[in-house]
Structure 1
Amino acid sequence: MAARPALAFLDILRGEGVDRVFGNPGTTELPFLAALSEAEDAPEYVLGVHEGAVVAMADGYARATGRPAFVSLHVAAGLANGLIGLLNARRSRTPLVVIAGQQDRRHLQQDPMLSGDLVALATPAVKSAHDVQHAHDLPLALRRAFALAVRPPAGPVFLSVPMDVFAEDTEVEVPARTPTPPLGTAPGIERAAVLLGGGARPAIVAGDGVGREDAVGALVRAAEACGAAVHHQPMADALNFPTTHPLYAGMLPPRHDAIRAALAPYDVVLIAGAHAFTPHHYTPGPALPPGLTVVQLDSDPDEIGRNFAADAGLVGSLGPSLHRLADLLRERVPDQTAKARVLRAGEQHAADRDRADSAARAAYSPAPLAPWAAAHAVARGLPPGTAVVEEAITVGLLLRRLVRLDRPGSYTHTVGGGLGWGIGAAVGRALAEPGRPVVAVLGDGSTLFGLQGLWSAARQQVPVLFVVMSNGVYRTLQDTYEAMGGKGVCPGTELGPLDFTRAAAFFGVDAVRAESAEHLRELVAGAGRLSGPLLVDVPLRDRPGRA
């Protein structure tokens, strides 16, 4: 089939399931925008007033829909603004297809305003970057971009498209879409069952690949089949195992010494879909304790043995592989043995959760709130089925210990660490799942980086509850500074008093300040009844016990 370049482009977008374009346009995108305006069944254009918010919205949308989201940026400046979001998407393995309009080829040699080497600029932040120089190459390049974006490891793919390529007076061929076959069950799963089933103290590390590949149910079956305690990978981006399950043992900390200590009680571990235990702060020594038998399963072959040796390394689709592993484990591990392990783990983990719950309840007070109390109020107020989008840094670590979630897609974070992601990601999540409550739990520093996303929240009237934990400092920096032996207040970490209700009003978003922990819980409990965005400003003590 042949079509004009812009129309061929739209044909491919429709065929790839793209129903929204997330963008902030400029003159180099005008031929593409013209095609959108002329086509009756064109994707909806979702406008953001800053590219950071644009890419974050696409990130949240792609994670919720399970398919690549499409992003349109504007030349070098727009691409540069969007790089933080692309870095996050690459780290979190979110499939995005991103284009940026380049200046007209007929005067590129004259270094026109806003032009630049877009491929060189994008390359460090994306999985792959390409420069499209001819209209007849555009459809094939776009097809390849969508295929590459979802191929393990998933991630953003970038295309630079000069504006005159869209407007060329020619017809181009539209290649048919070729579905990518799934990997299927990993070869060698029988050996994995022997190693895991033979352990006296088995454990599982649930990586973000489990959530991305919709394999949570399969992992639950495998864990129950051998009675293995299950930890989330460090700073997990998703709900990869139900936090309500008796085998759930919490998240591994993002330091090698702490991971090593947490895994020391076990004699065999299955690491499923986890990205190499990438640490945050340096500590000497390996992540895994000596003598631990390691089974590693991933859909990305590059992960196997990447940062630690595995006694069995398996490559395959996580869902089918874990289901097969569960069947094999049921044959090897006596049912009474597995059930006894589940019972013991459940008693221990319930006691740990009860202690955390009691400590948080004891901290309830009028505002300003203790961080434990604020996290607890949010966790207890969440309506059933809520999707939590978390970019709260220090309070987020407390929230992870308190939330009781079992539905896949219930928790979203970005391990990329580029601040400003949360507001836009929550907007994208709400657009993808209308009718599902969305609660974004944000730090005040993160909120300042992503405030422009509130404009899109108001424009789209998404029913998102934005909960801003406001302590007026970069708390995680101050904590790390003190842990390193720093004296006094770390320079450059004091934000001072901030009124986020006024910031929300500027963008047309309703806002309220939490007056107490119980008031915060009530506000969160009402998230499912929202008809538009609402921001809750939560004053925090900058330290526990200090107002």
Structure 2
Amino acid sequence: MGHRPALAVLDILRGEGVDRIFGNPGTTELPFLAALQDADDAPEYVLGVHEGAVVSMADGYARGTGRPAFVSLHVAAGLANGLIGLLNARRSRTPLVVTAGQQDRRHLQQDPMLSGDLVGLAASAVKATYDIQHARDLPLALRRAFALALRPPAGPVFLSVPMDLLTEDTEVEVPPRTSTPPLGPAPGLERAAVLLGAAARPAIVAGDGVGREDAFGALVRAAEACGAHVHHQPMADCLDFPTTHPLYAGALPPRHDAIRAALSPYDTVLIAGAHAFTPHHYSPGPPLPPGLTVVQLDSDPDEIGRNFAADAGLVGALGPSLHRLADLLREQVPAHTAKGRILRAGEHHAAERDRAESAARAAYSPAPLAPWAAAHAVARGLPPNTVVVEEAITVGLLLRRLVRLDRPGSYTHTVGGGLGWGIGAAVGRALAEPGRPVVAVLGDGCTLFGLQGLWSAARQSAPVLFVVMNNGVYRTLQDTYETMGGLGVCPGTELGPLDFTQAARFFGVDAVRAESADHLRELVAGAGQLTGPLLVDVPVRA
């Protein structure tokens, strides 16, 4: 059965499970908006007043629902504004399908206002692009885009759609949706189990693929089967292993020399779903210590051996593979051996956590707060079942050491590096999981980049607690400057005094300033009772 082009788009969106459209419209989107207006069961249009917030909301929504989110941007300028969010989504492997309306084809050669090379602009920030020139091609390309957005490695896919194409007086065929069979367990798990089973000091690096593919419980089983210490990958975007578990050994730092040092006590490591140990600051040498036996498991075949050699490279779905590996390891490692390792690891890691707790509690004071105290107050105030959306850079590193989380999906970050993601992502996450409290922990610089997202938070009455760590400086730049031998204050890093309560109220968001660490903890503890957004301005010592 045929449909007009705009109606065909809506038909495909319904079939793909799209119930919300994240957008900031312009003239080139008017034909699509008209179709939304006329349809009885069209997806809800979630408006953002800046494309950065629009894409970030879609990112948070896709992570919360596990489905590709749909984004509608406006011509070259709107796409350019959304590129930061698309770069973040690509690095974080968030599945998005993104369209932008191109100018009318009938005068495109005349270089009309708002026109541009949309495909060229988007190409470096997405997995794939489609330049639609014929109405008959749009449904097929859109089907492909949804499938490709989910295929490992997941990520955003872009389509350029001329505005006049959607108004053509023609009918197009909508191809049926084809269900893709899920990947199964990886071949070669028997040899991997032998390598890990023979290890005297096994370790696991939990990559973000574990969180994305809902393999959290399977990794716990595999770790317990051999008693392996578990580290999060550097700058992890997800909670990939419970931080409350006795085997949890913390996150690897984002430097090759520091990763080598952290992994040097082990003789064998399983690297599960980790993207190539993405470093932040350069240090010479490889990321892995010499002599380490490496088992690498990923659903993306391009990851195997990408940045380091693996003694066993396995390609398969992480959940089924890790469950199968756990069963095989129970045959290789005696139960008493695994239990002994878990007990010793728990004693060691508990002592480390106690030292961090003591240091943080000792720093409690009235505002302005020490960073340790601010991070601890947030971590201890979190209500049960909270989703933490973190874009706090320096305080976020401390927060990761202090949070006690054991539910999948309860910690979200972006390794993409494009600032301004956190506010929109938190709103999207609240829309995706309305029953869970959402606490967004943000740096003051990150908040400035994404401030327009507060408009959407107010518009959607999103019950998000926005916690802004306000130290008036780009702290991470100043810290790096000092490690490079810089003296004094690095030029271009001072923000000066900022009152984020005023900014929040301008957008219609209630706001309060934290007066002490105890006050901050109380405010965070109340996140589960929110019926709308609340911003907490936290003065932090620079």
| Number of aligned residue pairs | 542
Write out aligned runs for 1:191-206 (5 A). 191-206=191-206
Between the aligned partners of 1:168 and 1:309, the Cα distance in structure 2 is 54
The residue aligned with 1:218 is: 218
Q: Provide the secondary structure at the position in 1 that maps to 2:271.
A: strand
The residue aligned with 1:328 is: 328
Between the aligned partners of 2:159 and 2:413, the Cα distance in structure 1 is 26
Write out aligned runs for 1:27-426 (5 A). 27-426=27-426
Between the aligned partners of 2:6 and 2:190, the Cα distance in structure 1 is 51
The residue aligned with 1:428 is: 428
Q: Provide the secondary structure at the position in 2 that maps to 1:415.
A: coil
Q: Deviation of residue 180 (structure 1)? A: 1.1
Q: Provide the secondary structure at the position in 1 that maps to 2:81.
A: helix
Q: Provide the secondary structure at the position in 1 that maps to 2:502.
A: helix
Write out aligned runs for 1:429-508 (5 A). 429-508=429-508
Residue 16 (str. 1) matches residue 24 (str. 2)? no
Q: Deviation of residue 488 (structure 1)? A: 1.5
Between the aligned partners of 1:368 and 1:313, the Cα distance in structure 2 is 50
Deviations 1:498-529 (A, max 9, x none): 00000000000000000000000000000000
Q: Provide the secondary structure at the position in 2 that maps to 1:536.
A: strand
Q: Provide the secondary structure at the position in 2 that maps to 1:306.
A: coil
Between the aligned partners of 2:35 and 2:197, the Cα distance in structure 1 is 58
Q: Provide the secondary structure at the position in 1 that maps to 2:56.
A: helix
Q: Deviation of residue 451 (structure 1)? A: 0.1
Q: 2:331 is matched by which residue type in structure 1? A: E
Q: Deviation of residue 392 (structure 1)? A: 0.1
Between the aligned partners of 2:407 and 2:110, the Cα distance in structure 1 is 55
Between the aligned partners of 1:245 and 1:312, the Cα distance in structure 2 is 27
Between the aligned partners of 2:441 and 2:226, the Cα distance in structure 1 is 35
Between the aligned partners of 2:516 and 2:470, the Cα distance in structure 1 is 14
Q: Deviation of residue 183 (structure 1)? A: 1.2
Between the aligned partners of 1:540 and 1:319, the Cα distance in structure 2 is 41
Between the aligned partners of 1:2 and 1:186, the Cα distance in structure 2 is 41
TM-score, length basis structure 2: 1.00
Pairwise CA RMSD: 0.3
Between the aligned partners of 1:439 and 1:278, the Cα distance in structure 2 is 26
Q: Provide the secondary structure at the position in 2 that maps to 1:498.
A: coil
Q: 2:528 is matched by which residue type in structure 1? A: G
Identity %: 89
Deviations 1:310-352 (A, max 9, x none): 0000000000000000000000100000000000000000000
Q: 2:350 is matched by which residue type in structure 1? A: A
Q: Provide the secondary structure at the position in 2 that maps to 1:59.
A: helix
Between the aligned partners of 1:488 and 1:461, the Cα distance in structure 2 is 44
Q: Provide the secondary structure at the position in 1 that maps to 2:234.
A: coil
Q: Provide the secondary structure at the position in 1 that maps to 2:235.
A: coil
Q: Deviation of residue 2 (structure 1)? A: 1.1
Q: Deviation of residue 430 (structure 1)? A: 0.1
Q: Deviation of residue 130 (structure 1)? A: 1.1
Between the aligned partners of 1:4 and 1:121, the Cα distance in structure 2 is 28
Between the aligned partners of 2:497 and 2:249, the Cα distance in structure 1 is 37
Between the aligned partners of 1:185 and 1:69, the Cα distance in structure 2 is 27
Deviations 1:150-194 (A, max 9, x none): 000000000000001111100000000001111100000111100
Deviations 1:256-297 (A, max 9, x none): 000000000000000000000010000011000000000000
Q: Deviation of residue 487 (structure 1)? A: 1.5
Between the aligned partners of 2:371 and 2:95, the Cα distance in structure 1 is 34
Q: Provide the secondary structure at the position in 2 that maps to 1:492.
A: coil
Q: Deviation of residue 37 (structure 1)? A: 0.5
Q: 1:399 is matched by which residue type in structure 2? A: L
Write out aligned runs for 1:532-547 (5 A). 532-542=532-542
Deviations 1:377-409 (A, max 9, x none): 000000000000000000000000000000000
Q: Provide the secondary structure at the position in 1 that maps to 2:501.
A: helix
Between the aligned partners of 2:393 and 2:283, the Cα distance in structure 1 is 20
Between the aligned partners of 2:499 and 2:394, the Cα distance in structure 1 is 20
Between the aligned partners of 1:435 and 1:334, the Cα distance in structure 2 is 42
Between the aligned partners of 2:448 and 2:395, the Cα distance in structure 1 is 16
Q: Provide the secondary structure at the position in 2 that maps to 1:526.
A: helix
Between the aligned partners of 2:346 and 2:274, the Cα distance in structure 1 is 24
Between the aligned partners of 1:368 and 1:117, the Cα distance in structure 2 is 48
Q: Provide the secondary structure at the position in 1 that maps to 2:314.
A: strand
Q: Provide the secondary structure at the position in 2 that maps to 1:35.
A: helix
Between the aligned partners of 2:480 and 2:128, the Cα distance in structure 1 is 35
Q: Provide the secondary structure at the position in 2 that maps to 1:296.
A: strand
Q: 2:20 is matched by which residue type in structure 1? A: R
Q: 2:322 is matched by which residue type in structure 1? A: L
Between the aligned partners of 1:314 and 1:141, the Cα distance in structure 2 is 31
Q: Deviation of residue 47 (structure 1)? A: 0.1
TM-score, length basis structure 1: 0.99
Q: Deviation of residue 85 (structure 1)? A: 0.1
Deviations 1:33-67 (A, max 9, x none): 00001000000000000000000000000000001
Between the aligned partners of 1:456 and 1:539, the Cα distance in structure 2 is 25
Between the aligned partners of 2:195 and 2:67, the Cα distance in structure 1 is 35
Between the aligned partners of 1:125 and 1:486, the Cα distance in structure 2 is 34
The residue aligned with 1:545 is: none
